[in-house]
Amino acid sequence: MNAVIRPLRSSRPQGPLVGAVRVPGDKSISHRALMFGALAVGETRIYGLLEGEDVLCTAAAMRALGAEISQGADGVWRVAGRGVGGLIEPGNVLDMGNSGTAARLLAGIIATHDIFAVMTGDGSLRTRPMKRVTDPLAQSGARFWSREGGRLPLAIKGARDPLPIEYELPVASAQVKSAILLAGLNAPGETLVREPAATRDHSENMLRHFGAVVDVERVGLGRVIRLQGQPELRAADVRVPADPSSAAFPMVAALLVPGSRIVLEHVGLNELRTGLFTCLREMGALIEVVSPRLEGGEEVGDLVVTAGVLRAVDVPAERAPSMIDEYPVLAVAAACAEGVSRFRGLHELRVKESDRLSATAALLAANGVKVEIEGDDLIVHGVAGGPPGGGLVATHMDHRLAMSALVLGLGSQRPVAVDDGSFIETSFPGFVALMNGLGAAIS
């Protein structure tokens, strides 16, 4: 995949960004809908599934494990599941594309099925650590073989008689938590996860939606999650909200281009995913929620975003789990704000699609923004009116870095270029067309 390199460039548009759009479906929820549907009894219908490359890889992997998955002429995806414990051994290697979420969650599912499977991914995914997942999953009785450092390709022999896991996360991670909970589905008794800070809870919400018993107890800043093993999951329709991580890019763009006013429709508003919105409001951004509602256990609403003057912000470390994917585009907003912003406690950014902490700093520095890294903190010196721009950004096969750089170009004095935008399709198919439809200048 992504064999064709696609350089892109953005520049200040002639006028404001205006219009109403719906960004693609939530990637986290889309992965889980396919996986949980495959583990349920009956047919699950999925509306608004993100049809990016990562999610299509998940669909292919679940087919290889025995689920029947198809898309109808109406655009609705249908998953005929095999039930908990009913997956079959795949006949070939499972290609997870660029998605760490899919690879780590699927490792949890396979760990407690008595099958053998091998996972790989693209060049970016094969550099990312998996031991943070395989170490706790080994408690179930599963065995793992990988490259040095726990990197893909990863071979898994699931446990014949799986054991429930009790695990305390050393670092807050929704992916690790979810992998352990999914392993617990096919293990007897109670699986228990302690997290030091609350992370996105799409797995817990969707497990309940499909009929599992999941209890959550708040303990300080963290939570204790308990799952009752070996439930019979029942097919349940899923309506995927627009991805708040994808909505972040047109949102910040609208805040940076004078006179802009856009509406982002049907955006997921899960409180554990909206740290960026909180930060932007603290910076003075005008973001209004219209028609809030609840669908499939998830809060959604329409967002009205109006351009204005942004001020620097100091983001506490405990907010990181609720916006871990949005720091690059928040850094872009900070680069165009008045004053010096500081984002604290960003260690987790070092193990994303790229070392996003260093890569984000390099993105800004290449475009004339003064930026520093102190430990795990990122410090951005804003340039009111927009930074110089004019740089070429190395994206490191990271879709969010590519989109963040292109948003920066909309607010900079000179155009900003990226070496490769092809990976944007993994999470935001049609990004350039959607942005240009609002009035952006990306080519």
Same domain, 217 and 248: no
- Report how far residue 276's alpha carbon sits from residue 247's, in angstroms, rounded to the nearest whole number: 10
Element (H, E) at 202: helix 202-209
Give the other-Cβ count within 10 Å of 138's Cβ. Answer: 15
For residue 339, give the CATH number of its domain. Answer: 3.65.10.10
* 108 and 68 in a common domain: yes
What is the count of structural domains for the chain? Answer: 2
DSSP label at 259?
T
Residues 401, 347 within the same domain: yes
Based on the domain organization, do 284 and 406 belong to the same domain? Answer: yes
- Could you give phi then psi for residue 43, rounded to 5 degrees? -105, 125
299 and 261 inside one domain: yes
Of 239, 259, 289, the position where a domain reaches its end is 239
What residues contact residue 274 under an 8 Å CB cut-off, 6+ apart?
244, 322, 323
Q: Which domain holds residue 419?
A: 8-25+241-442
C-alpha to C-alpha distance for 132 and 170, rounded to whole angstroms? 9
Residue from 325, 355, 376, 377 carrying the catalytic annotation: 325
Same domain, 174 and 153: yes
Residues 107, 381: Cα–Cα separation, whole Å: 41
Q: pTM score, two decimals?
A: 0.88
Q: Are residues 225 and 148 in the same domain?
A: yes
In 281-405, which ranges are E strands?
286-295, 298-306, 314-315, 340-343, 371-374, 377-381, 392-393
Tokens, residue 345: 């406690």
Instruction: Look at residue 3 and tell me if it is in a domain.
Output: no
20: which residues sit within 8 A by CB, 6+ positions away?
262, 263, 264, 265
CB atoms within 10 A of CB 28: 27
> For residue 1, is it within any domain?
no
**pLDDT in 10s for each residue of the chain, 443 residues:** 445 899 999 999 999 999 999 999 999 999 999 999 999 999 999 999 999 889 999 999 999 999 999 999 999 999 999 999 999 999 999 999 989 999 999 999 999 999 999 999 999 899 988 999 999 999 999 999 999 888 999 999 999 999 999 999 998 899 999 999 999 999 999 999 999 999 989 999 999 999 999 999 999 989 999 999 999 999 999 999 999 999 999 999 999 999 999 999 999 999 989 999 999 999 999 999 999 998 767 899 999 999 999 999 999 998 988 898 999 999 999 999 999 999 999 988 876 656 899 999 999 999 999 999 999 999 999 998 999 999 999 999 899 999 999 999 999 999 999 999 998 988 899 999 999 999 999 99
Same domain, 223 and 361: no
Q: Of 208, 224, 239, which residue is a domain's last?
A: 239
Q: Identify the domain boundary among 239, 273, 294.
A: 239
71 and 195 assigned to the same domain? yes
The answer to whether position 363 is within a domain reads yes
- Upstream peptide bond of 7 is cis (omega within 30 degrees of 0): no
- Closest alpha carbon to 418 in 373, 370, 372, 362: 362
Q: Judge whether 325 counts as a catalytic residue.
A: yes
Instruction: Give the Cα-Cα-Cα angle 287, 417, 364 (nearest 5 degrees).
Output: 60
Q: Based on the domain organization, do 204 and 267 belong to the same domain?
A: no
Distance in angstroms (rounded) separating the CA atoms of residues 29 and 31: 6
HSE, CB side, 13 Å, CA atoms: give it for residue 127: 11
Do 213 and 249 belong to one domain? Answer: no
Instruction: Report if residue 152 sits inside a domain.
Output: yes
Say whether both 357 and 385 belong to one domain.
yes
Query: How high is the pLDDT of residue 397?
Result: 87
The pLDDT of residue 2: 46
